[in-house]
Amino acid sequence: MRKGKDAGKQAVLKLLQGGRPVQFRQMLQLLGINRGERDYLENLLDHMVEKGEIIRMTGRYYTAPGGGRGIRGKLSLHRDGYGFVVPEDGGDDLFVPARYLREYMNGDVVEAQVVSTGRGGKREGRVVGLIQRGVTSVIGRFEPVGKGGRIIPDDQRIGRDLIVSPGATGGAKPGEVVVAVITSYPDEVRGLEGKVTEVLGNPHDPEVEVLSVIKKFDLPYQFTPEQLADAEALAQPVDDAARAGRTDLRERVTVTIDGETARDFDDAVSVSREGDRIRLFVSIADVSHYVREGSRIDVEAYRRGTSVYFPDRAIPMLPEALSNGICSLNPNVERLAMTAEMLFDAEGECVVSRFYPSVIKSSARLTYTIVRQILVDKDPAVIAGHQELVPHLTVMEELAQRLNTRRKGRGSIDLDLPEPQIILDLQGETTAIVRAERNLAHRIIEEFMLAANEAVATFLEGVPVPSLYRVHEEPDPLKLKDLSEFVFSFGYELRFSEEKGVPPKALQALLAQVEGKPEERLINEVLLRCMKQARYSEENLGHYGLASPCYTHFTSPIRRYPDLVVHRILRRVTAGRMTQTDRDRLEGYLPEASVHTSKRERVAMEAEREMVDLKKMQFMRDKIGEEYDGFITGVTSFGLFVELVELFVEGMIPVATLPQDFYVLQEKQHALIGEQSRIRYRIADKIRVKVAAVNEARKQVEFALVQGLSAAPRVPLTEAESYAKVPIRGKRPKPKRR
């Protein structure tokens, strides 16, 4: 075999062009490889696999892409070892047990095959080939082992520690957070190996925490000097040239309503009553005026896709001169906007809408707290300080109620699941974890933004013109069927049809029935797990959760790139400048943009969740031995996941620490039942726990059940049910002779 990457590559491709997999040893013979060239071939094959030019299959077989005729997709692993292959063609995910995943890692692009189809059409498969590696580096904590060491990955889905050879530790000290590049991936013989390339520092340093998350998710967090200079040059006061051709709304009473710590204000609202109708103006920062398509700032904004928000800071999509400066709708200064003007009748139906570029001057920067104090608390002092705005806020409240009633009437689903708010001190240390407030003011802005997004989407679809939609597809029918059976055990009927599934209105009615009941949180949680994730698409597929036939994102172009895309399309259409060339370009651009921005949104969400989890671990490190009320959030064969009621911290009670019994897992009922004691632990059950251990490196909290304080009920378990299930813990008692 001739050496040289190109010559060797061509020889391998020619050998595999028949489509049949070839084993490594067989390849050595067919290519005439001698013992001295073996390492060369191994390195060449690894390189070709990394580039996606060939596929490595189990047993060291290799094949050309498509040769396996299986399902190609990205592997998504769970921290417990099993995973799912998410097909590239958009089909249903394929479940893969842990025993088939020893050589593979989260994010790998793989080829898989279906090995069985269970009751109800649930498919199980195995991975048969690697197309491309998804992870090339690992972030984690270094632990010395001999003269080398190991790295405990921050990402639990990696599922194994990374081994560091002597001389490759980079001078890391015990417990420090490091970045390591992977030098060898796991196979039948070797584990995961790598070398330290960067030492980030002490894991308890808040700056190191942030940097570790940034590195883990590969978040762009710095702008180049050129991008910053471009932003500064754009951030000029609004002048006559900028005002030209815009509707002047500067004299209207317009306000922004945001959180206390918000720094960028991309939406402002104004209302006026017209008989029994109410006119709503939703003015959104006109980012498209400043960020021109193809500019250096635009290219970077597209790369980021979205802003990322941590408890103590944000990584903005746009430079601060724009996001917090000229684009932000700050009070008492002129700003350029795109306005959605809508007229609603007494039933909350939009009877007229129009869209145009405008110039506004926000009258006040209000917070959710201030609006709540005015409308809910009726605080005299706060009302006195905002006297001129009270009539406008009262009309806003009335309109929001109309919109909400109409939205609920068509079946829009509102899951009542609380979210945590992390309270930090000046040093960035977590001092408290509280329930994030969601009051009337939040609902007002939410209803107005939903209305504007829907109006813009309906308008663009009606033109018609290629656009970007926010879509939410129907849940998996199998999951809905399981949900129907689950809620029936509580006495609720949820009619399920394999042809039609379950309409959103039926789910909304179910949520209304369980409101205030002990099982409310339980059913909300299970319903959430049935839902698919909303995404962006060039095709209007409707929004199941909102029961909306047509929806988009228009209201946050400072922090979401899809909104900026929609603004550009809307500007061209309303100005009469949408040419056939523009349409053709959009037809080619939007599919790629929808996939990219959906991915960036998911990365941002995972990074934000990771940072919140880090702060939770930081808060819990000195709480060992303390007792808390909690409720069960998950039931598995190896234990119970529990969330603390007041702290929103989730941990696990290992099944081995539960009272001695023979436990039966009932998956559909989300329950673990002791066969002897008949004690049932079910998702959402309230229990009392003690913090047993906190492993910050693995981001795990272990709880212990406080004996005698469990509210778990005793339930009957038939012999047929018991023997049909897999034993979880303990020995089955011998049957008594009768």
Taking only the tens place, the pLDDT of each residue in 411-460 is 999 887 788 899 998 888 899 999 888 899 999 999 999 999 999 999 99
H or E segment and range at residue 127: strand 123-132
Closest among 188, 176, 177, 84 to 127, alpha carbons compared? 84
Task: Determine contact, residues 376/439, Cβ cutoff 8 Å.
Answer: yes
Nearest 10 degrees: Cα torsion 89, 609, 182, 55: -10
Task: Determine contact, residues 552/467, Cβ cutoff 8 Å.
Answer: yes
Report the first-to-last Cα separation within the chain, whole angstroms: 78
Given a cut of 80, whether residue 564 has pLDDT beyond it is yes
∠ CA 446-452-456, rounded to 5°: 145
Pairwise pLDDT comparison (282 vs 103), residue with the higher score: 282
Owner of token pair 């890692």: 105
Task: Count Cβ neighbours within 10 Å for each residue of 474-510 and write b for 16 or more, e otherwise.
Answer: bbbbbbbbbbbebbeeeebebebeeeebbebebbbeb
Q: Which whole number is the average pLDDT over 677-698?
A: 88
Cα(632)–Cα(546) distance, rounded to whole angstroms? 28
Task: Determine contact, residues 666/680, Cβ cutoff 8 Å.
Answer: no
Looking at the DSSP assignment, which residues form a beta bridge with residue 272? 279
What are the pLDDT digits (tens) for 309-350? 999 999 999 999 999 999 999 999 999 999 999 999 999 999
∠ CA 282-283-289, rounded to 5°: 150
Distance of CA 418 to the CA centre of its chain: 16
Given a cut of 90, whether residue 201 has pLDDT beyond it is yes
Q: In what order do the strands lie in the sheet with 267-274?
A: 247-248, 350-361, 334-344, 277-285, 267-274, 255-258, 364-367
Q: How many C-beta atoms lie closer than 10 Å to residue 153's C-beta?
A: 23
Min mean pLDDT across 138-152, 160-174, 336-350, 656-670 is at 656-670
Handedness of CA 245, 251, 254, 255 (dihedral sign): positive
The number of residues making up the chain comes to 738
Owner of token pair 């941590």: 310
Task: Determine contact, residues 368/442, Cβ cutoff 8 Å.
Answer: yes
Task: Determine contact, residues 396/271, Cβ cutoff 8 Å.
Answer: yes
What are the pLDDT digits (tens) for 359-396? 999 999 999 999 999 999 999 999 999 999 999 999 99
Give the per-residue pLDDT at 171.
Answer: 95
Instruction: Enumerate domains of the chain plus CATH numbers.
Output: 1-64 (1.10.10), 137-203 (2.40.50.140), 225-464+560-570+597-609 (no CATH), 477-531 (no CATH), 627-724 (2.40.50.140)
Give the per-residue pLDDT at 18.
Answer: 73
∠ CA 598-600-604, rounded to 5°: 120
Q: What is the DSSP letter of 658?
A: S
User: What single-letter amino acid sits at 119?
Assistant: R
DSSP SS3 for 563 = helix
Cα(430)–Cα(256) distance, rounded to whole angstroms? 29
DSSP SS3 for 433 = strand
Three-class SS string for 246-306?
CEECCCCCCEEEECCCCCCCCEEEEEEEECCEEEEEEEEECHHHHCCCCCHHHHHHHHHCE
Q: What is the DSSP letter of 324?
A: I
Q: What is the pTM of this model?
A: 0.84
